[in-house]
Structure 1
Amino acid sequence: MSKLRDHVPSTHSLFVFEAAARTLSFKNAASELNVTQPSVSHSIKTFEKHCGTPLFVRDNRGVQLTQAGRLLYEEVRTSFRRLEQRLETISDRGPKYVTFAASTSLAAHWLAPQLYHFQEEHPDVRIKVVATDRDVEPDHEIDVSVLVRPRDFESVNSRFVGDEIIFPVCSPAYLLSHSAPQTVDDLVHHQLIHSSDAFRKRMGWPEWVELAGGDPSDIKPNIVFNDYQLTLQAALAAEGIALGWSLTAQHLLKTRLLIRPFATEIKTDRAFFLLANEDESKNKKCKVLVDCTPPARAALREHGTVARLRS
């Protein structure tokens, strides 16, 4: 049982104290709580006696909080607001969000750049982005997610976004201090940034180099990150060359924060799909979000060699 009951005469006294401390007026607090001013004064006196210390200083100009009163008010205000937000979340009266789950890198570099304009066009649709280190299908908590599935994947609640195309990326600053690789075999002379996600299967450098027609035997995983977002951050910081995914890298390429040092790419037999919650009560807003999500831009592909991975 909570010991809070030992520290307050009643839960009502907390509401009276909060109103009086916020308005610095017993009269205004009484009006807000729909009780009499003497009732508020009596409740505060009882609370002060229970606490063993004055909470208000009374004078001809009204009331002011004591040091103890200010400390208590800060805690009460924060706790009330936190409780209010939680109750709104679990009740039908709070704001309704479309919850979008994605990897950290997709959330940061694909979803986030679209949200400002989407919110301008659809102010009634509120979006909560949940970054996750594993694939999550829509359920009672998640409304929309973006997942990699076989290219021929079909579902009534899914939408094709773009093919999985993988290619080297680096920052312009990296190429200012390093000679640009001209072929796949030149990559062995560069610092390659590796990613090894615990819960997602990603193509690594050895597999990519082999599929692109190179020799992977000399590829050494000197730098390995367990989150692809960290891999991208290292590439942005000019630490080396990373593998870029068509969907994740499109905004970074468009803004020239990252570039492709040469054009070879691997198109796998997989693709990115949006999956929406099948709950009919949520379908309308989910559909607005899904329908407004643009497909990956084919223009990202530069002229050059395209190796295709067949199943």
Structure 2
Amino acid sequence: MKLPPLNALPAFEAVARLNSFTKAADELNVSQSAISHQIRALESYLGEDLFTRQGRKLSLTEEGQNYWEAISSSLSQIERASEQLQGVASSEIRLALFSSFAVRWLIPNLPSLQRNHPEVDLQLEMKNDNPVLSDHTADCFVTIQPESKGYSMDLLYIEKLFPICSRSYWNQMCDTLYQQGKIDTLTPAHLPAELLFQFPLLSTISIFDKPKQDWQRWAYAGRLSIPDTVRYQQFSHMLLTLEAARHHQGIALTNDYMYDPDRDSDLIRLPCHDFITDDKFYFAFKTSRRNEPSIMKVRQWIQKTARSTGLI
């Protein structure tokens, strides 16, 4: 087995992660010159430059980036295997997930994890986009990526969108439609979907990365065409759209993890059709880490909670 200078690998991983020789030296409790010597020895062994230096700016070369991604995962596995044999496996677990899923579903349900598994220290890494599946990012993930080599996926949720508004706005809508003779009761059990188009529609751009696409697809699912006279308000994120609906600004499209009838008593789900998007949410973890107790506890808890809250 031909291996590189093993003492140089932790030094390289620290410099790459911290983007600093000084910080790496402080973390490893060695001198900066020792770190520099180890990096030079590793570069000499590999025959490649791992870093580029322009003045005080330090960055990984393409070869360095690829090498870091490969060896840091292996170093982490060695560390975890050693801790398990010593009986001191870490209870700290980093979970990376969408900010909306974290704020509206995970955090309100976290007390049950803390009650059932107080030994698990769950650290949340909130992301605006789909989190990158990598040990650099987190230990486990909530992702809409359906598969990735080396990762196991548990289905948590198949997204569907449906219209909501504030209770106050709903009462105003019903009063208007009743006065117009379009409904025969102020508390309709079903509302013809086309009647929504005379009220402002609150649209979330990030759902399909195109303006108004959420409502366009909802209408298409109901075999409807939205008239050109419809008034839209557009928001970058569903959290903003939900707050606009809460403040009586119009009708929004949301999903099951964003809307909880028990917690959101000031909002009402309109009696119209819903539609299923292409997004499926998964709990993901590296298959090689399937025997780590803390990851398995989080996995079992999130599956159980998804079932009990009606996500799956």
- Correspondences of 1:54-65 after superposition (within 5 Å): none
Equivalent of 1:166 in 161, 170, 178: 161
Aligned-residue sequence identity (percent) comes to 21
Amino acid at match of 1:256: S
TM-superposed deviation, 1:230: 0.8
The number of equivalent residue pairs is 210
Contact 1:206 1:217 in 2 (8 A): no
Aligned twin of 1:213: 223
Structure 1 position 243 matched with structure 2 position 238: no
Aligned twin of 1:287: 296
Aligned twin of 1:309: none
Instruction: List per-residue Cα deviations over 1:48-92 (Å, max 9, x = no partner).
Output: xxxxxxxxxxxxxxxxxxxxxxxxxxxxxxxxxxxxxxxxxxxx9
TM-superposed deviation, 1:114: 1.0
The structure whose Rg is larger is: 1
Shift in alpha-carbon separation, 1:300–1:272, aligned structure 2, 3 A: closer
Shift in alpha-carbon separation, 1:221–1:204, aligned structure 2, 3 A: farther
Structure 1 position 115 matched with structure 2 position 110: yes
Gaps of 5+ in 1: 1-91, 302-311
Structure 1 position 264 matched with structure 2 position 279: no
TM-score, normalised by the number of residues in structure 1? 0.57
Shift in alpha-carbon separation, 1:300–1:142, aligned structure 2, 3 A: closer
Structure 1 position 132 matched with structure 2 position 132: no
Mapped partners of 2:262, 2:306: distance in 1:
16
TM-superposed deviation, 1:121: 0.9
Amino acid at match of 1:147: T
TM-superposed deviation, 1:259: 1.8
SS in 1 for 2:270: coil
Aligned twin of 1:231: 241
Contact 2:192 2:272 in 1 (8 A): no
Equivalent of 1:144 in 121, 135, 140: 140
Equivalent of 1:177 in 147, 160, 172: 172
SS in 1 for 2:253: strand
TM-score, normalised by the number of residues in structure 2? 0.57
Mapped partners of 1:263, 1:298: distance in 2:
22
CA-based RMSD: 3.7
Shift in alpha-carbon separation, 1:216–1:300, aligned structure 2, 3 A: farther
Gaps of 5+ in 2: 1-82, 178-189
Amino acid at match of 1:196: I
Moved over 4 A (4+): 92-96, 152-156, 198-203, 252-255, 296-301
Mapped partners of 2:267, 2:148: distance in 1:
30
TM-superposed deviation, 1:263: 3.4
SS in 2 for 1:246: coil
Shift in alpha-carbon separation, 1:274–1:119, aligned structure 2, 3 A: same
Mapped partners of 1:262, 1:226: distance in 2:
26
Equivalent of 1:275 in 278, 284, 288: 284
Shift in alpha-carbon separation, 1:218–1:97, aligned structure 2, 3 A: farther
Moved more, 98-107 or 185-194: 98-107
TM-superposed deviation, 1:136: 0.6
- Correspondences of 1:34-53 after superposition (within 5 Å): none
TM-superposed deviation, 1:146: 1.7
SS in 1 for 2:144: strand
TM-superposed deviation, 1:216: 2.2
